[in-house]
Amino acid sequence: MKKAIVLLSGGMDSAVTLYMAKETYECHCLIFDYGQKAASEIKCAKKIAEVSKAPFYVLEISLPWKGSALLDEAEAVPEGSASAGGAIPATYVPSRNIIMLSFGTSFAEAIDADAVFIGAHQLDYSNYPDCRGEFFESFQESVRRGTKKGTRGRGIKIETPIINKTKKEIIEIGSNLGVPFGNTWSCYIDGDKPCGICESCLLRSKAFGEAGIEDPLTAKNL
């Protein structure tokens, strides 16, 4: 079976992406500890990988310049719909997907994997510029031109299987695939239970409601 790298954040989008990738690939999960406030997502990512029986690697990287409410303790995570009106919210981490995809591509070349999966999507999302289709098309071209596999005609494919899915559709797909949503973490804030008021929590709650499915994470914290 062909191999793939899956960037696994611990959130529901990356969990669904992993289970989609497992349908056709031997998956190797790459989890990032980059100093994010929501450290719970790292623990959740490990659990998801274990449940899915996929080997995983936790990579610690430092972003000392901060530049995001998800990293800087002096900057509060905004409540509500922080990206309303097309604004890029304070939770945007500068160039995060460029950084993570670069590590994922390096990992893929090292183990001769054919693809790197990322759970980004451009519908019902927080308006991050590195979650748009045009960005991934551009990055794919960089991989083609800038890797040994690419220059030899055996390129690494950047896979974004949920890029044009709504959050509701992502929940439905994950439910059909048996994704353990109770082990996922979407909240931008760390704690024993989700805050329920940050944008990520609101998008998650809306998606489960529209899909008519109870969120097991919320249910087990009641």
pLDDT number for residue 154: 85
| Residue matched to tokens 């659990």 | 47
Q: In sequence order, which residues have a C-beta less than 8 Å from that of residue 75 and are 6 or more positions away?
A: 66, 68, 69, 90
Q: Determine the Cα angle at 143 with ends 137 and 160, to 5°.
A: 45
pLDDT number for residue 187: 95
pLDDT number for residue 68: 96
What is 12-79 written as a DSSP string?
Answer: HHHHHHHHHHTTTSEEEEEEEES--S-THHHHHHHHHHHHHT--EEEEE---TT--STTT-TTSPPPB
CATH of domain 3-220: 3.40.50.620
Reduced to 3 states, what is the DSSP secondary structure of residue 3? strand
- Separation of alpha carbons 54 and 130, rounded Å: 26
**Residues 11, 48 contacting (CB under 8 angstroms):** no
pLDDT number for residue 222: 53
Q: Where are the domains of the chain?
A: 3-220
pLDDT number for residue 80: 76
pLDDT number for residue 220: 67
Q: What tens-digit pLDDT sequence spans the chain (222 residues)?
A: 999 999 999 999 999 999 999 999 999 999 999 999 999 999 999 999 999 999 999 999 999 999 999 999 999 999 876 555 678 889 999 999 999 999 999 999 999 999 999 999 988 777 899 999 999 999 999 999 999 999 998 899 999 999 999 999 999 999 999 999 999 999 999 998 999 999 999 999 999 999 999 999 987 665
- Tokens describing residue 145: 């031109």
Give which of 83, 77, 87, 119 is closest to 100, Cα–Cα: 119
**Residues 52, 22 contacting (CB under 8 angstroms):** yes
pLDDT number for residue 18: 98
Reduced to 3 states, what is the DSSP secondary structure of residue 166? coil
Does the CA dihedral 117-118-119-120 come out positive or negative? negative
What phi and psi, each to the nearest 5 degrees, are found at residue 156?
A: -95, 125
